[in-house]
Chain A
Amino acid sequence: GAGVSQSPSNKVTEKGKDVELRCDPISGHTALYWYRQSLGQGLEFLIYFQGNSAPDKSGLPSDRFSAERTGGSVSTLTIQRTQQEDSAVYLCASSPGPRGREQFFGPGTRLTVL
């Protein structure tokens, strides 16, 4: 079976533009996570989905960030009016359920805001 996939793998955009990042979790995994990994930093939790609902949005850095999940599967993370400080690798992970211990990660999307 396929693992978690993310697209695009790389995205270069100009400051002020909007971007959409996509995550396809492992089939059947109900829990989905978005993280941000900046150079020299650890993993910054952004948002968690259980099914299509997001019980925890506390990690979203600002109201420019939003995410949705449809059909209990694909998720998109949208960043509006991108800023240079948004440049990072955005990781998506999924796990079998809310009590799933192991998170399975995608390869990430490297976002560069010029």
Chain B
Amino acid sequence: AQRVTQPEKLLSVFKGAPVELKCNYSYSGSPELFWYVQYSRQRLQLLLRHISRESIKGFTADLNKGETSFHLKKPFAQEEDSAMYYCALKGDSNYQLIWGAGTKLIIKP
């Protein structure tokens, strides 16, 4: 079965602290993974994808096939990082993404 699990519904950290949003996936093939973000009153948008191996807004995510994880990390959280974060998997389907339930990140001042 293809599945994406984000175990934390809510994550609250202080400004300047490291943040890690967890994402685990279940997929037997070669996965493509994405992180999408939805800031307050804004539309859902792509943050980063693992194939690009990029850092966006200080966030990085490494695909760990051994642990079937794609955790999103940032060393020093900023208040503007407060948002809803979704992890998504492109599995067998050419078009459909499998979505996690999302993690609401709150950065406390």
Contact = CB atoms under 8 A, between A and B. Distances in A.
Contacts, number: 49
A107 B86 contact: no
Interface of A: 3-4, 31, 33, 40-43, 45, 48, 50, 56, 91, 93, 95, 98-108
Nearest to A50: B95
B20 to A, nearest CB: 19
Interface of B: 6, 9, 32, 34, 43-46, 49, 86, 90, 93-97, 99-102
Contact of A42 (B46, B94, B95, B102): B102
A99 B94 contact: yes
Given A31-B95, A48-B95, A99-B94, A42 B101 contact: yes
Given A40-B9, A106-B43, A107-B43, A101 B90 contact: yes
Contact of B99 (A43, A100, A101, A106): A43
Looking at A3, A42, A98, which has the most chain B CB atoms within 10 Å of its CB? Answer: A42
Contact of A103 (B6, B97, B102): B97
Given A42-B86, A101-B49, A101-B90, A108 B43 contact: yes
